[in-house]
Amino acid sequence: MIGPGTGVRVYLVCGATDMRKGIAGLAALVQDALRQKPTGGAVFAFRGRKGDRLKLLYWDGQGFCLYYKLLQRGRFPWPNTASGAARLTSAQLAMMWEGIDWRWPDWGAPPARVG
């Protein structure tokens, strides 16, 4: 994924977000609802009501980046909390972006031992 890289703070904005919002609307939501500075270098993730759409808002030091993904099948995993935010690691964000449930990743069975 093109983006902020490892070690960045990631916040999931809990609840459903109106996916018609653009950069200005999402940045205002970060300030008003989360009491966070949208230009602070963190990634803010927003999910639509149906769960199949995800927007990431990130300030790269020069301007805002807005990433948008629409799943053809399935839903993005999301906390049950209706308000506030949840923290994720950059690795968990990468898993979610790829459609992997970051809460319970399926790493498969361990390799069989030989010998």
What residue has token string 């960045």? Answer: 8
Tokens of 112: 């069989």
Q: What is the pLDDT of residue 56?
A: 96
pLDDT tens readout for residues 82-94: 668 888 888 889 8
State the amino acid at position 71 in one-letter form. Answer: L
pLDDT over 90 (residue 4): no
| pLDDT at residue 102, as a whole number | 78
Write the pLDDT tens digit of every residue in 5-58. 677 899 999 888 999 999 999 999 999 988 999 999 999 999 999 999 999 999
Closest alpha carbon to 55 in 25, 91, 79, 89: 25
DSSP H stretches of helix in the chain: 23-34, 90-97
Using CA atoms, how far residue 29 sits from 15, 105, 106, in Å, is 12, 30, 33
* Residue 106 banded pLDDT, cuts 50, 70, 90: low
Phi, psi of 24, deg, nearest 5? -65, -45
Here the tokens at position 26 are 């999402």
Instruction: Report the DSSP pairing between strands 10-13 and 85-88.
Output: antiparallel
Distance CA 88, CA 64 (A): 20
Q: What is the per-residue pLDDT for 48?
A: 92
